[in-house]
Each structure stands twice: as C-alpha cells, then as structure tokens.
Amino acid sequence: MPAVIVVGTQWGDEGKGKATDHLGVDVDLVVKFNGGNNAGHTVVIDGEKYALHLLPAGILSDGVTPIIGNGVVIDPEVLFQEIEELEDRGRDTSRLKISANAHIIPSYNRLIDRTTEKFLGKRQIGTTGRGIGPTYADKMNRIGIRVQDLFDESILRQKVEGALVNKNHLLVKVFNKRKVDIDEVTAELLSYADRIQPMVVDSSQLVNDALDEGKTVLFEAGQATMLDIDHGTYPFVTSSNATAGGACTGAGVGPTRIDAVVGVTKAYTTRVGEGPFPTELFDAEGEELRERGGEFGVTTGRPRRCGWFDAVVARYATRVNGLTDLVVTKLDVLTGYEQIPVCVAYDVEGERFDDMPVSQSAFHHAEPIYEYLPGWSEDISKVRTFEELPVNAQRYIEFLEEIARVRVSVIGVGAGREAAIVRHQFV
C-alpha cells in the first residue's frame, strides 16, 4: 500500500493542511519531513478552527500516528505549547512520535534570525523569525543540536559550547548583543529532555516498517516548491527542501517506496515575505482578492501578497516534484469574477518564456502574459461533484490541468473538511 507525498506548489499556504487532513482519514501515519514552526496550517473540523505550526496536521485525525521526521527543526517550547493547546481542547496527542535525529532550535537561533534580518536592511528575506534558517545552517555546519543530544548532559554541553564559539563572537562583536551563557542554554535544553523522551523514535525505521506492513503513509511538506532551498526563488526561500525529494531525505525512506506525489495549489497565488512574484496584484485588485480569500498569515498574521494563478510556476512544480496529482484549493474565492486571468508565460524584456527562466534576474523582471478565462457567478460551496460545477468553473480547472500537465484530483470549494470535490483517488 501506498506512500503519498503532499507538497505545496507555490509559495506556501496552499491549503496542504486541509488536503492532508482530508486524506488523513484513511492514512495510518503522517510524517512531517522539513521545516519547523515557520509553517502554519489552519484546519477546520466540525466548525472548530485549529491553527498548527509545528505539529503535523494528521494529529487531528483519530487513529493516525503523527511523526516529526529527521528533516524537521523543533522548537521545544512551541512543541509543548501546541500539545497542551490541543489536549486542553480534548484532542489526543499521545500518538506523536519524534525522530532522534531531528534538530532542535535553541533560543539563540531565534535571536540570530531576527538580528540577521535587521542587519540585512533592504535585502531582508522576510523570515518568520523563528530561528529556522540559523538552525539549518548549524545542521550543515555540523554544529547543530539534535533531539538525541538532550539525553546526554556532557555531550549536550560540548555541543552547545561548540555552537557558541563563533556565535558569541558574532553576537557581541558584530551585533552588539549580550553573550549567550553556555550553562543557561544547556540547562534550558536539558529541561526538555524528560518530556520529549517518551516520544523519541527512529522515524526511518518506523516509517519503513509501516510501509512493509502495508500501511498508508502520508509525507506532509512544510512551506512549498517556490520556497525550497534548491528549487525556489533563492535567496527568498526557506532553508529546507520543501519539494518531494525532501520527503526521502527528511524521513529516511528511499524514492523507490513512493507511490504518489500530490501537489497542492490555490486557484490563484499568494506569498508572504519578500521576493519576486510575477502575477502579484497591487492596490484595489490585490486587496479584493486578499479580502475574498481571507489571506492573512497563520503564523505571523501578515497580510499575504495576492495574485492570479501562475501556470509557469505550476508546470515547474509538476516537473521538480514529479507530481502525479494536483489539489486545487479555494476555487470558491474566484466566484463572481467576470473573467479570470491565468498567467501562461512570462515576458522578459521582449522575450517569451513558457517555462521557468534559468536566471534569477529574468524571473525578477518577468511580466505575466495572461489568458482570460470566463468566470462564473453561482455559489459553488455546496457542490460535491465535478459535473455540478458551473461549466466555466469546469473549464477553468481543465485549463489548469492542461497547462500544468497534471490531473486535478481534488478541488476545494470552501473552508470545511467536507467542502471538496474528489475526482480521482490519489493511488
């Protein structure tokens, strides 16, 4: 039985939470394989709204084992806080498992994240300020603190010391901040150990065993394709692999075990933070889309930048992820437009690009070339089959399928878990 990866195809917030949770009903394990509490999933179940940042959306489905894989970075304060919040609302979180190899976000990396952004001035990334980037940098620099380090005081101390050698110089001499105290940090990290220990596993083993037993495993990406450290709009990206390949490295499964890769896209586009965004709308048009779609960040509350659907991005996402299926969310938000622009190519100083330009500067200067599709005015939020959709809504979806070169299997038509049209099963 299947292993299914779910990724965002744009700049995040496509509704992966809802998509994975929607599937979560029939899956046994949900694995988060990248990112940390920079993510924000809003899931609505029985009219109750849940905002998750670190925990996999699958935590809200009974019978699902949620797993935080080795590719994730964990802020223990946030972990415990989210667990408590869910428990307080009567949700069972006891099935949660955490990889021994996942990295911890020490408090000093939050400080460094925010301070670095300030120092970047005009060149800032617009990070979520959660310490994500510095923690992945530590991982690559081989000075990271892993979950398993919390259980050996002397190793932990050595590692904290090692990490702080350079950081303290940076903080004091460059950033004009106070030096971080090794004892304090070690004590703080140690204080998490007892609470986290019962959840710790070899997540690779757990996931592979589950697949051997014929269970269904869902790999849930944080962020999205265009925020991927390798394939996104570098440097305006997050610091992990949010594309399908990240599921293999971030969970410890081989690519041969994966059966389906599901991309999630909004029927239009949004982005938070800085960086290029060819179909971005400004002024009243952008404002209208933002209001209609309720486009404000779950994690930071920032208004999201809004624009039309970008098929160049969608086709690119199909390619770099090897998508087998596409989930289109928030189609209902487009109800009431007389015509809907879809970006089918870019114009870069007179040259037409049907596919993603190789050069970053070309992408920064890309002007969208639009095709205009006829809109619809009927309320579609209660529609549950493709055939019941207004003809123009059907044509919109078929157009996206053709141009993105992937079948659209699920269409979201409202916020609730049930507000979706399922056309094809993923596997």
Q: Which residues are identified as catalytic?
A: 13, 41
Yes or no: say if 321 and 280 are a contact pair by the CB < 8 Å rule.
no
Indicate which single residue of 61, 128, 204, 225 sits in contact with ligand IMP (rule: CB under 6 A). 128
C-beta closer to Mg ion: residue 54 or 112: 54
Distance CA 243, CA 22 (A): 20
By C-alpha distance, which of 212, 257, 235 is closest to 120?
Answer: 235
Q: How far is CA 379 from each of CA 269, 285, 335, 341, 408, rounded to the nearest angstrom?
A: 21, 21, 7, 20, 20
Indicate which single residue of 9, 10, 13, 200 sits in contact with Mg ion (rule: CB under 5 A). 13
Phi-psi region of 258 (alpha: psi -120 to 50; beta: other; left: phi over 0): beta
Q: Does 125 bind ligand IMP (CB under 6 A)?
A: yes
Side-chain half-sphere CA neighbours of 83 within 13 A: 16
Binding residues for ligand IMP restricted to 204-263, rule: CB under 6 A: 222-223, 227, 236, 238-239
Yes or no: say if 340 and 308 are a contact pair by the CB < 8 Å rule.
yes
C-beta closer to ligand IMP: residue 251 or 272: 272
Of 37-45, 324-332, 372-380, 408-416, the segment contacting Mg ion by CB under 5 A is 37-45
Q: Does 15 bind ligand IMP (CB under 6 A)?
A: no
Q: Is 138 exposed, middle or buried (CB count within 10 Å of its CB: 0-12, 13-18, 19+)?
A: buried
Closest distance between ligand IMP and the C-beta of residue 37, in Å?
9
User: Across the strands, what pairs with 123?
Assistant: none
Indicate which single residue of 40, 71, 245, 293 sits in contact with Mg ion (rule: CB under 5 A). 40
Q: Does 409 bind ligand IMP (CB under 6 A)?
A: no
Of 33-41, 76-84, 180-188, 267-275, the segment contacting Mg ion by CB under 5 A is 33-41
Q: Does 12 bind ligand IMP (CB under 6 A)?
A: yes
Closest distance between ligand IMP and the C-beta of residue 38, in Å?
4
By C-alpha distance, which of 3, 70, 14 is closest to 304?
Answer: 14
Of 38-46, 96-104, 246-254, 375-383, the segment contacting ligand IMP by CB under 6 A is 38-46
Q: Which residues bind Mg ion (CB under 5 A)?
A: 13, 40
